[in-house]
Homo-oligomer: A and B are copies of this chain.
Amino acid sequence: MEEVIQSLIQPADSKIVMLVMDGVGGIPNNGKTELQAADKPHLDKLAQKAETGMLTPIYPGITPGSGPGHFGLFGYDPIKYNIGRGVLSALGINFPLQSGDLAARINFCTVDTEGKVTDRRAGRISNEECSRICDKINDNIEGVPGVEIFLRPVKEHRALLVLRGKPFCEKIRETDPQKTGVPPLKPEALIDDARPTSQMLEKIISQVKTVLQDEPQANMILLRGFAEYRRFPGFFERYGLKAQALASYPMYKGISRLLGMEVLEGLGSLEEEFNALKENFDRYDFFFVHVKYTDSSGEDGDFHKKVKMIEKVDAFIPQIEALKPDVLVVSADHSTPSPMARHSWHPVPVLMKSPYARVDGVKAFDEESCLRGSIGQMLSYQFFTYMLANADRLQKYGA
């Protein structure tokens, strides 16, 4: 189907804005979801002029991480375009991955004299400590012939490992034993092809241990999320869309860059994102505007804060509408119900204003109302094609 869609792409002058309210979907708390509890006159008015529906991010019952959730919204089947955690971690800190690189997440940990893990998080060392230790390893590690080794701090005890220069295989067992009192696991090859990578990793881990032997806390590493980096076909290649990402968090910028969007750096607040949208509106076809705080308040389990965040976003809707995009989509990458305080599998509401919208009588932008909308229910990645049609960017199939 992907090939068929790509063969139907046609150029157009239309402009598309996709506003992603991260994790906005919820479950009722005292009878109302966060969207139902919020006072959001602009979103509701928009829903009344739009088509609405429900999107299932990955597959019924599957809770998406941030990567797959966004991939789906961007029309990339998140099962096919699976992106390993190591690579996501690298994208999150804007590490310039090259095709063929092997990335892995590092947890610094503490081991005792027998090599048994005593603290899987090395006492949650500070970001500064993490930086210092990464530098120490980069400067002192002996290395493996033909392989470049990069360590980069992420946050607290978390860091990134990237290997470059050989053909690697990601089918390696994670070394985190998931409990204390035992040594780290070996980076075993899960398939035969992974043996050379496994042997390199064993050497590197052993060298790191030597470099860190005098450290009081972070004296060992645990490796997780081994992932080879491969280039994905980008927005322009697949859709003919010149796309810009307006996001403040590194992870979302990284995902956008991976898909060939131009990322505007230096954005912090919502105000800055929406101002940037206005300033750049003439220069791109597609705009991804990312709102983080609906998700983070949900993850904090803070119902009222999430409601407030929705209301805050609502106030910016007239600013988007004033730009008169041909297609305006509001949706989410996944649900983060505050009563659950984590991502969930629940479908997310979507609204789309377009010149061709089959307006459906839905009066509000929330989970219950949008269930009755004329977009119906579909997988997130299928919706992108539907949106492209509304932007006059797809030819007819067959005669």
**Which A residues are closer than 8 A to B by beta carbons?**
1, 4-5, 8, 27-28, 31, 33, 54, 58-69, 78-79, 82-83, 85, 88-89, 225, 337, 340, 343-347, 356-361, 367-368, 371-374, 376-378, 382-390, 394-399
Give every chain B residue within 8 A of A357 (Cβ-Cβ): 27
Q: A64–B79 Cα gap in the complex (Å)?
A: 27
B345 touches A225 (CB 8 A): no
Q: Do residues A371 and B371 form an inter-chain contact, with CB atoms below 8 A?
A: no
Number of copies: 2
Closest residue of B by beta carbon distance from A392: B340
10 contacts between A and B (CB under 8 A): A27-B358, A28-B359, A31-B359, A61-B386, A69-B398, A85-B399, A88-B398, A343-B396, A347-B376, A368-B374
Residues of B contacting A376 with CB < 8 Å?
54, 347, 371, 377
Q: How close is A149's CB to chain B, nearest CB, in angstroms?
A: 23
CB distance A28 to B358 under 8 Å?
yes
Contact A398 B85 (CB under 8 A): yes
From B60, B78, B82, give the contact of A385 (CB < 8 A): B60
Q: How far is the CA of A368 from the CA of B358 in the complex (A)?
A: 9
Cβ-defined contact, A82 with B360, below 8 A = no
Chain B hits for A4, CB < 8 A: 59, 62, 79
Which residues in B have their C-beta under 8 angstroms from that of A66?
398-399
Contacts of A58 in B (CB 8 A): 397
| Measured CA separation A335–B368 after assembly (Å) | 27
**Which of B27, B371, B387, B394 lies in contact with A356, CB distance below 8 A?**
B27
